[in-house]
């Protein structure tokens, strides 16, 4: 009699356990799908916001004027000689040695590969990077180098405004690039890509170089080009994505505006600022998702 009673009870227990297990699994699956779709919407909206900002900023009259004026002042700095003396050359070389030592995976030939070949590039890198008294990571604090040249006056005029925009919206860096030579004639943070050519320089085949070339070929002022996140040597091989839009002045293409996307903002969305437990993902969970962010023929990756 006991055995007869236990068998149905065991069957009932197994059936109930399986049913409860399936129900719990379904609830968790639905929760994960909901989290994934929520993160997807957040990422899409974030990149739509970036798209709107870069299109609006590239057509802003101040940016158009800054692009034209920086182009002229960079090409003609107004000094008799832009060749660096031995002291400035050594300081610039030391900055590149620091870059090599702090860039994971950098080869023995990194310094010779990265060092700009053009004197004009080395000159401006000396002014705003190696001869800039602010520590590495804070080079953007310099409003203007002390030399009495037009470029420095323009930098003092425009830099605080663009820097404020960058800080307000959390971008990693903002670049103004001359349309023909591809020179980065302005950068907020002044990493070692500053003043190099995205047409022929050491980073022409990287994400920022592709973004420049992609935007250069666009004839619609409301179009953008996005390059996917990849490791980027000027940022010590941290992941970087670049969003670019052409700059027009009365129908003439005069330059390219490039935003370097803040990877930490993307991480904050995907990891809920590392608060996995509070959103039901345990102690170390993270939402992983890959899908098109912006449907556009000018978008790469994602």
Task: Flag whether 90 is in a domain.
Answer: yes
How far is it, in rounded angstroms, from Cα 284 to Cα 1? Answer: 51
Task: Flag whether 269 is in a domain.
Answer: no
Task: Flag whether 287 is in a domain.
Answer: no
* Count: domains in the chain: 1
Task: Flag whether 97 is in a domain.
Answer: yes
Task: Flag whether 79 is in a domain.
Answer: yes
In DSSP terms, 299 is beta-bridged to 226
Could you list the pLDDT tens digit for every one of the 302 residues in the chain? 676 666 766 665 666 666 766 667 676 666 666 666 767 787 788 888 999 999 999 999 999 999 999 999 999 888 767 788 999 999 999 999 999 999 999 999 999 999 999 999 999 999 999 999 999 999 999 999 999 999 999 999 999 999 999 999 999 999 999 999 999 999 999 999 999 999 999 999 999 999 999 999 999 999 999 998 999 999 999 999 999 999 999 999 999 999 999 777 676 666 666 665 665 555 655 555 444 444 334 443 33
Max CA pair span of the chain: 109
Task: Flag whether 198 is in a domain.
Answer: yes
- In contact, 211 and 243? CB cutoff 8 Å: yes
| Domain ranges, residue 200 | 42-262
Sheet holding 173-178, edge to edge: 184-187, 173-178, 252-260, 238-249, 225-232
pLDDT in tens, 2-43: 766 667 666 656 666 667 666 676 766 666 666 667 677 877
- In contact, 127 and 133? CB cutoff 8 Å: no
The CATH number given to whatever domain includes residue 130 is: 3.30.450.20
| pTM score, whole prediction | 0.81
Task: Flag whether 57 is in a domain.
Answer: yes
Task: Flag whether 9 is in a domain.
Answer: no
């Amino acid at each position: 009699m006991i055995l007869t009673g236990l068998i149905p009870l065991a069957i009932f227990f197994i059936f109930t356990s399986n049913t409860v297990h399936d129900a719990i699994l379904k609830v968790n699956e639905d929760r994960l799908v909901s989290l994934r779709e929520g993160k997807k919407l957040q990422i899409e909206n974030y990149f739509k916001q970036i798209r709107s900002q870069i299109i609006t900023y590239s057509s802003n009259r101040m940016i158009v004027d800054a692009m034209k004026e920086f182009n002229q002042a960079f090409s003609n700095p107004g000094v008799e000689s832009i060749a660096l003396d031995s002291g400035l050359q050594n300081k610039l070389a030391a900055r590149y040695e620091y870059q090599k030592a702090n860039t994971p995976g950098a080869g023995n030939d990194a310094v010779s590969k990265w060092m700009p070949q053009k004197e004009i590039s080395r000159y401006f890198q000396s002014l705003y990077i190696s001869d800039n008294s602010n520590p590495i990571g804070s080079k953007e604090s310099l409003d203007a180098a002390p030399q009495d040249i037009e470029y420095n006056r323009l930098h003092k005029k425009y830099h605080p405004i663009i820097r404020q925009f960058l800080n307000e919206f959390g971008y990693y860096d903002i670049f103004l690039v001359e349309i023909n030579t591809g020179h980065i004639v302005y950068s907020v943070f002044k990493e070692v890509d500053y003043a190099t050519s995205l047409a022929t320089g050491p980073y022409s085949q990287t994400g920022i170089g592709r973004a420049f070339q992609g935007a250069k070929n666009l004839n619609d002022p409301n179009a953008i080009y996005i390059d996917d996140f990849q490791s980027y040597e000027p940022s010590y091989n941290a992941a970087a994505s670049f969003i670019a839009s052409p700059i027009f002045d009365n129908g003439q293409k005069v330059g390219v505006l490039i935003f370097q996307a803040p990877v930490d903002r993307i991480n904050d969305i995907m990891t809920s600022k590392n608060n996995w437990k509070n959103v039901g993902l345990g102690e170390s969970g993270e939402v992983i998702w890959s899908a098109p962010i912006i449907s556009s023929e000018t978008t790469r990756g994602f």
